[in-house]
Amino acid sequence: MGKYRIVIAGAGRIGSGFAWHDLEYTHAGSVNALKDRVELVGFIEPNEERSDAAQILWKVPVYPDCKSGFDALQPDIVIIATQPGQQEYVLNHCVSRVKGALVEKPYMAGKYDFPIQTNYLRRADPEHQRIAAECYVRTIHVWAKNDLHTWPHFMDLARWWEVNEVQYNIIDGPCSYRAEGKNLDRHFDNGGINPAECMNGMLANLLDAIEGKAELWSPPY
């Protein structure tokens, strides 16, 4: 099997590293980390400044809309790093085109006939996987921002671990949390994860799910 062709919809900070210092902690960086299995063939980005930056940085074409981009690039997988309200627009252009998708949190679109991995990074962290397998978590105490790109991490952990309570304390600063339960009472500074490593793991898991080797770690439903 050849490499999967990947298109990233959204060439902002998390998609391509626009105005961002850590290129490994981007979706383009995760594609590069798995270059033995995938290749980045282009971006979809209507904003001219972000489009120009992505072309220079990643040396791939950028198209202003999904129709022209998907027609030209013929992706196998799409990574959607747009705002939540644009997810459905992108996914509707993927129907009958792609084998799977990885979508940034929170997931706001409907159901589709191909695997969709939702990018909840903490579910991909090996320590959190160990806790899910070995421990019962009763309560999660969270100190974090209350925004569309932070709270889904902890809501996903709560659903995954089947906790009884989430105590969310809003702060303006780095997130941390304490997981409390049977055989466990731990504090995780700054979320307790390596984001780049977890993003690589999410993409690798999606590839394994497409190939029938694994279940999705974080399906949208």
Task: Answer whether residue 1 shows pLDDT above 80.
Answer: no
Q: What pLDDT, on the 0 to 100 scale, is given for residue 94?
A: 92
The pLDDT value recorded for residue 97 is 94
| Nearest in space to 99 (alpha carbons), one of 209, 220, 204 | 209
pLDDT higher than 90, residue 190: no
Q: What percent of the chain has pLDDT over 90?
A: 88
For residue 21, count other CB atoms closer than 10 A to its CB.
Answer: 7
Q: What is the pLDDT of residues 123-182, one digit of tens each?
A: 999 999 999 999 999 999 999 999 888 899 999 999 999 999 999 999 998 899 999 999
Q: What are the tens digits of pLDDT across the range 78-132?
A: 999 999 999 999 999 999 999 999 999 999 999 999 999 999 989 999 999 999 9
- pTM, to two decimals: 0.94
Domains contained in the chain, CATH given? 4-119+195-210 (3.40.50.720), 126-192 (3.30.360)
Phi–psi pair at 19, nearest 5 degrees: 55, 40
pLDDT of residue 193: 87
Region 69-76: what's the mean pLDDT? 97
Across 48-77, average pLDDT: 97
Residue among 206, 9, 4 at smallest CA distance from 90: 9
Going by C-beta distance under 8 Å and a sequence separation of 6 or more, which residues neighbour residue 40? 6, 7, 8, 28, 31, 32, 58, 60
